[in-house]
C-alpha cells in the first residue's frame, strides 16, 4: 500500500472531505468547527493514507451519524449526551479522526519496507475500530432496558454515566469494531494482498477496537474529569452544564475531558492492532 506522494490525491482528499463536511453540516451532524475538523482529518487520511484508509473514516462517519439519528427523540430524555441539537465540533472530530490522521502523516515520514507497510494501515484500522466501537456503544447502549453498571465496581449507575456499561453496549461495541475490521480486511483482498493478510487485518483491527473501547470505559470510570451541577444536582462531563451553570470539579483529572479520553482510547486501539499485526506476521 506504499505509493509515491501525489498532489492530486491530496487535492482529491481535500475536495472529498469538504463535500463530506458540507453534507454533515447540512444534516446537522457537524457544527462549523466540526466541518474544519472533518476537512483536516479527512485530507490527511485520504491524501496521505489512501482510499482504504479513507473508507474506514467514511464508514465511521456515516454509521455513527446514522446511529445518532436512530431513536433520537427517545435518547434525548435518557441522558444529557443526547440533548437536542447536538452537533460534533472540532474537538470531537479530532478526538475521533486525529489518531488515524497522525498515523497517515507518520506513515509518510517513516515509510516501512513492503513487507511491513501494512502495519501502518493495521494501526489506522485499530484506531478507527476503537472510535467506531465507542460511538456504537454510546448510541445503542443507552437504549438498554437494563441500567448500566460501572466497569470497575459493577455498581449500578445512572444512564449516561462515564464508565457505565451494559451488555447491549458491549455487543454494539464489538459490532462497531468488527465492521471496521471486516472492511480493512476487504480492502486487503481488493488490493490482492492474500487471505493471510486479510484475516490478520480483520483480527488485529477488531481486537484493537475492543481494547480501545475497554480502555475508554476504564478511563471514564476512573480518571476522566467529572463535574457537579449545583442547579440540577447532577453529575456531568461538562465544565459548563447545559443549564448554563458553571459546574464544580467533582473527581478525575481536570485536563482529561471526554474528547481526550476518546483520543487516548484510539491510540490504544492503534497500538494493540499494530502489535497483533506485527506479532502474527
Ligand atoms: Zn445544570
| Dist. CA 76 → ligand 1 center (Å) | 15
| Dist. CA 231 → ligand 1 center (Å) | 5
Q: What is the DSSP letter of 257?
A: -
| Dist. CA 27 → ligand 1 center (Å) | 28
Q: What is the pLDDT of residue 29?
A: 87
Q: Is the pLDDT of residue 69 over 90?
A: no
Q: Which of 170 and 2 is assigned the larger pLDDT?
A: 170
| Dist. CA 84 → ligand 1 center (Å) | 15
Q: Does some domain include residue 227?
A: yes
| Dist. CA 258 → ligand 1 center (Å) | 18
Helix (H) or strand (E) holding 121: helix 118-141
Q: Which of 42 and 77 is assigned the larger pLDDT?
A: 42
CA pair distance 219, 264, nearest whole angstrom: 9
The pTM (predicted TM-score) of the whole model is: 0.93
Helix (H) or strand (E) holding 267: helix 258-280
pLDDT tens track for 227-246: 999 999 988 888 988 889 99
**Long-range interactions of 104-112: CB distance < 8 A, separation 24+:** 104/44, 104/45, 104/47, 104/48, 104/49, 104/53, 105/44, 105/48, 107/48, 107/49, 108/5, 108/48, 111/2, 112/2
CA pair distance 247, 242, nearest whole angstrom: 10
Q: What is the pLDDT of residue 115?
A: 60
Q: Does some domain include residue 1?
A: no
CA distances from 86 to 69, 230, 267, 273 (A): 11, 23, 25, 31
| Dist. CA 164 → ligand 1 center (Å) | 21
Q: What is the pLDDT of residue 116?
A: 67
What is the domain count for the chain? 1
| Residues spanned by the domain of 224 | 7-280
Contact 259, 91 (CB under 8 A): yes
Q: Does some domain include residue 38?
A: yes
Q: Is the pLDDT of residue 54 over 70?
A: yes
Q: Is the pLDDT of residue 82 over 90?
A: no
Q: Does some domain include residue 2?
A: no
Q: Does some domain include residue 46?
A: yes
pLDDT tens track for 119-167: 999 999 999 999 999 999 999 999 999 999 999 999 999 888 899 999 9
For residue 79, name the pLDDT band (cuts at 50, 70, 90): confident
> Percent of the chain beyond pLDDT 70?
96
Q: What is the pLDDT of residue 1?
A: 45
Average pLDDT, the chain: 92
CA pair distance 125, 119, nearest whole angstrom: 10
Amino acid at each position: 500500500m506504499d505509493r509515491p506522494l501525489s498532489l492530486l490525491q491530496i487535492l482529491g482528499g481535500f475536495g472529498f472531505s469538504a463535500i463530506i463536511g458540507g453534507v454533515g453540516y447540512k444534516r446537522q451532524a457537524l457544527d462549523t468547527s466540526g466541518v474544519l475538523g472533518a476537512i483536516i482529518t479527512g485530507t490527511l487520511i485520504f491524501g496521505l493514507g489512501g482510499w482504504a484508509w479513507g473508507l474506514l473514516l467514511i464508514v465511521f462517519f456515516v454509521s455513527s451519524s446514522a446511529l445518532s439519528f436512530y431513536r433520537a427523540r427517545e435518547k434525548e430524555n435518557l441522558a444529557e449526551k443526547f440533548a437536542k441539537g447536538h452537533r460534533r465540533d472540532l474537538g470531537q472530530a479530532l478526538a475521533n479522526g486525529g489518531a488515524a490522521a497522525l498515523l497517515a502523516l507518520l506513515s509518510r515520514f517513516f515509510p516501512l519496507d513492503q513487507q511491513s507497510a501494512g502495519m501502518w494501515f493495521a494501526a489506522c484500522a485499530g484506531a478507527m475500530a476503537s472510535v467506531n466501537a465507542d460511538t456504537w456503544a454510546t448510541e445503542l447502549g443507552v437504549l438498554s432496558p437494563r441500567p448500566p453498571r460501572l466497569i470497575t465496581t459493577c455498581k449500578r449507575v445512572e444512564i449516561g454515566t462515564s464508565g457505565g456499561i451494559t451488555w447491549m453496549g458491549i455487543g454494539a461495541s464489538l459490532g462497531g469494531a468488527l465492521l471496521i475490521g471486516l472492511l480493512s480486511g476487504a480492502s486487503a483482498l481488493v488490493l490482492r494482498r492474500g487471505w493471510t493478510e486479510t484475516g490478520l487485518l480483520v483480527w488485529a483491527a477488531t481486537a484493537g477496537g475492543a481494547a480501545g473501547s475497554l480502555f475508554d470505559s476504564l478511563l471514564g470510570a476512573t480518571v476522566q474529569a467529572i463535574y457537579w451541577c449545583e442547579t440540577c444536582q447532577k453529575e456531568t462531563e461538562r465544565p459548563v452544564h447545559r443549564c448554563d451553570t458553571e459546574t464544580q470539579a467533582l473527581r478525575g483529572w481536570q485536563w482529561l475531558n471526554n474528547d481526550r479520553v476518546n483520543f487516548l482510547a484510539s491510540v490504544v486501539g492503534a497500538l494493540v492492532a499494530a502489535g497483533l499485526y506485527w506479532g502474527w506476521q
